[in-house]
Structure 1
Amino acid sequence: MDKKLLDILVCPLCKGPLVYDAKALELICKVDRLAYAIVDDIPVMLIDEARQIPAEVEL
């Protein structure tokens, strides 16, 4: 994932910072507990497409 792109991307829901999970190929919003998939090096920044992270999973 391009560092410059990571620096400008924010969560589309809360506009907060995202954390890159290289292992899962996702961008994580800790505030909203959403994971945005990265497909072919392109982040899918659609709220409806994001994966909800269960409360019992530690971020």
Structure 2
Amino acid sequence: MAYKITDECISCGACAATCPVGAIAEGDKHYEIDEASCVECGACQAGCPVSAIEAP
């Protein structure tokens, strides 16, 4: 199961910049993580300035 970006996301892009596999892209409301590409490394969660990413 992949990490999940919540509605607390402010669309700053910090998570996308830290993802080593490019699994994060801007979505309709906020950034989204592609579950098939996510390797569950946690880099996105550590890089989020508003703690909007939940661990699997």
| TM-score for the superposition, normalised by structure 2 | 0.33
Which is bigger in relative contact order (C-alpha 8 A, separation at least 6)? 2
Higher strand share: 1
The higher radius of gyration belongs to 1
